[in-house]
């Protein structure tokens, strides 16, 4: 095989010698179209002529050999010129037309190597049957089911809204971030589409849909053991986003609808890619617009003050209450005392009446110890002060039963005291009364994660990061 290249991200000339067929040259201009996917830049065809076969083997024909040498020099020189032009040119993404010879199989092979792929709008329209199978609607766009030619099912999220330069740059920067995020409990990004008429993200397809339908529909209930495993897996995914990524990712919208379940009911956090990126050393983040969903969003989310990643922990606590009760936290159909489930749970816990919780929620008495543990974790997570909420890695250990859980404070005391905006210290571990301080001497095992190659490293796009 002969492979000549003009440099990273530039033109490539490849020549392959096959015993069963003739040589085929294919010139591919990398020129920023897919700068870091490392797709094989060739196609080849197999011939049947024995004469053609013998003429391409080095040393078995002077004229063919000369032709090959001349071709190599010509194409290599052309590749260098293209590289020089690319370095002088702008960072605008070029057309994908030169890649139409690449087959879907080559795309899918790269997918298997965990490298996010840039798809064309035509490829996604074919895979989704022109976007006919709608799976659901979300705040960022519509999600459609698609199937690639090898039978791989995917979920294609088509993003809504008018495109402008800033939005486009942020989209590409965040896709690059998702490309570095691989974890068992996070929905995997297969690729993306970034064209004038279509901006889309291509995710793995989750066969059992979102968690909300198993919590709020009578005919689709899951067993308590399954629900506990879903709670632990979700906590692991959030812990990875907060504590193990190169840049902390704050989700801002943890809720049952954003927890997806695969065919084996393994939970995976979804919709984290368009969340806020921030330096892990930076404690506070300022939002320019409201985020979150009422009923799950932390109190500080609705106030004009800097917030921290502890807002996700509050949302997880509210999610945990709904997992325990297998009902919505706010249900106006019930009597007033049970209307808001979290406060009702606190009263039962405060008076040592958790046995009533198992009866109301239809949970077997043998799970009493696990229920109490989940209740205490939920109560710590929804503390009014952000610094009183534990880190997600600590939440994982508490749910797993690896650490003892201190007695939680009343998280709803502020409703009686008319407390002002919740304050946060300069660092979440600097308060003597925080749960993190109490558990800081205990070992916390990091979540299982998979390393991945960063995506689109050659794009000159600024990621919006809070300054330290």
Point out the residues that are catalytic.
253
Whole-angstrom distance, CA of residue 2 vs CA of residue 194: 33
The SS3 call for residue 63 is helix
Contact 274, 199 (CB under 8 A): no
Whole-angstrom distance, CA of residue 227 vs CA of residue 253: 20
> Pairing between strand 259-261 and 267-269?
antiparallel
Contact 206, 262 (CB under 8 A): yes
- Read off the DSSP letter of residue 182: -
Q: Report CA-CA distances (Å) from 365 to 233, 248, 320, 354, 463.
A: 23, 39, 19, 10, 50
**What residues contact 32, with CB distance under 8 A and at least 6 apart?**
9, 86, 91, 92, 93, 94, 458, 459
- For residue 350 the two structure tokens come to 């405060």
Whole-angstrom distance, CA of residue 37 vs CA of residue 455: 7
Whole-angstrom distance, CA of residue 448 vs CA of residue 444: 12
Whole-angstrom distance, CA of residue 102 vs CA of residue 83: 21
Whole-angstrom distance, CA of residue 79 vs CA of residue 13: 8
The SS3 call for residue 77 is helix
- Annotated ligand binding at 157? The verdict is yes
- 438 DSSP β-pair partners: none
Residues making up the binding site for ATP: 157
């Amino acid at each position: 095989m002969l492979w000549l290249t003009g440099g990273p991200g530039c033109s490539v000339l490849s020549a392959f010698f096959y015993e069963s067929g003739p040589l085929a040259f294919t010139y591919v201009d990398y020129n920023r179209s897919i700068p870091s996917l490392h797709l094989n830049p060739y196609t080849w065809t197999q011939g049947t002529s024995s004469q053609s076969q013998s003429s391409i083997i080095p040393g078995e024909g002077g004229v063919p050999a000369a032709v090959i040498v001349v071709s190599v020099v010509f194409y290599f020189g052309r590749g260098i010129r293209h590289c020089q032009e690319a370095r002088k040119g702008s960072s605008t993404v070029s057309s994908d037309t030169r890649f139409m010879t690449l087959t879907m199989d080559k795309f899918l092979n790269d997918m298997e190597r965990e490298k996010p792929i840039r798809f064309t709008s035509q490829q996604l329209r074919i895979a989704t049957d022109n976007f006919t199978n709608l799976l659901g609607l979300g705040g960022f766009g519509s999600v459609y089911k698609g199937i690639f030619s090898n039978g791989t099912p995917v979920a294609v999220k088509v993003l809504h809204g008018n495109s402008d330069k800033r939005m486009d740059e942020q989209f590409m920067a965040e896709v690059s971030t998702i490309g570095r995020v691989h974890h068992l409990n996070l929905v995997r990004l297969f690729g993306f589409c970034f064209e004038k008429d279509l901006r889309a993200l291509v995710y793995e397809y989750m066969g059992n849909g979102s968690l909300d339908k198993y919590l709020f529909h009578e005919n689709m209930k899951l067993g308590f053991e399954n629900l506990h495993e879903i709670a632990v897996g979700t906590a692991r995914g959030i812990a990875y986003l907060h504590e193990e990524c190169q840049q902390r990712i704050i989700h801002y919208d943890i809720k049952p609808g954003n927890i997806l379940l695969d065919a084996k009911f393994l939970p995976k956090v979804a919709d984290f890619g368009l969340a806020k990126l921030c330096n892990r050393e930076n404690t506070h983040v300022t939002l320019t617009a409201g985020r979150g969903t009422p009923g799950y969003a932390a109190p500080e989310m609705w106030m004009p003050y800097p917030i921290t990643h502890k807002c996700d922990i509050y949302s997880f606590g509210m999610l945990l209450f709904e997992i325990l009760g297998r009902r919505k936290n706010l249900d106006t159909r019930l009597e007033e005392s049970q209307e808001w489930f979290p406060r009702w749970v606190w009263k039962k816990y405060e008076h040592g009446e958790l046995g009533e919780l198992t009866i109301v929620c239809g949970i077997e008495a043998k799970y009493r110890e696990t229920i109490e543990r989940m209740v205490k974790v939920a109560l710590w997570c929804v503390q009014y002060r952000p610094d009183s909420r534990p880190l997600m890695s600590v939440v994982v250990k508490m749910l797993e039963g690896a650490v003892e859980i201190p007695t939680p404070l009343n998280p709803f005391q502020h409703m009686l005291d008319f407390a002002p905006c919740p304050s946060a210290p300069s660092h979440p571990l600097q308060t003597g009364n925080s749960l993190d301080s109490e558990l800081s001497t205990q070992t916390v095992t990091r979540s299982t994660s998979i390393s991945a190659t960063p995506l689109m490293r050659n794009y000159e796009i600024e990621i919006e990061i809070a300054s330290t």
